[in-house]
Amino acid sequence: MNAAPNAPDFRQEFLDFALARGVLRFGEFVTKAGRQTPYFFNAGLFNDGESLGRLGRFYAEALRASGLSCDQLFGPAYKGIILAAVTAVALAEKGQNLPFSFNRKEAKDHGEGGMVVGASLRGRVLIVDDVITAGTSVRESVELIRAHGATPAGVLIALDRMERGRGERSAVQEVSEDFGIPVIAIATLENLMCFIGDRAELAPFKDAVNSYRKRYGVKGAVSA
């Protein structure tokens, strides 16, 4: 599903929030793939109670705006654990009380044991994470969810960079198409371009971001 350039206001509010918290930055950076990029997004910098609470509300808003139904949330270790938790709290505040769970990196052989902590995996399970880079954590999560007899309902992330991987598809497109599940993003690169265009102080970065998009961007997005 293509993300509309004229996105709901919460997407622009989210980008403004990320910029104010230093999570979204503009300048000269290098991605893990070795690409020179004019912007950088690090959700790990949402690192205090107030920002996490607000972040959870943005995740909840994106999920509700997508219309996707699910029975519970799942957070891949490690960032996804916090993100699933704050999203669950935000949804409960809106009257949608969902169970959530997360995985351990290594199985525990005492106490409750196993790889999964929290609610048992049942029904339609939504994976909550920050971004999809290589798609590794999502693939592991899908396998774990299916191994417990549950169904992956989709993936909810903060930002879709809409950027090609090694091939012509982005990591988000690969996940969506390979597993047949939707990927919902609070904001996408298209939303970011609109955001830059609306802020005079970011005008110096507009051409650089647009050039980066033309060089590495995918032709279409699958984010809701």
Catalytic residues: 108, 110
Rounded Cα distance between 84 and 212, Å, is 31
Site of tokens 């270790």: 77
Tokens of 92: 């409960």
Per the rule left: phi > 0, alpha: psi between -120 and 50, beta: everything else, 191 is alpha
3-state secondary structure of 124: strand
Contact 70, 126 (CB under 8 A): yes
Give the distance between the most distant pair of CA atoms in the chain: 57
DSSP state of 85: H
Residue 88: CB partners within 8 Å, gap ≥ 6?
A: 56, 73, 98, 99, 100
Rounded Cα distance between 85 and 65, Å, is 19
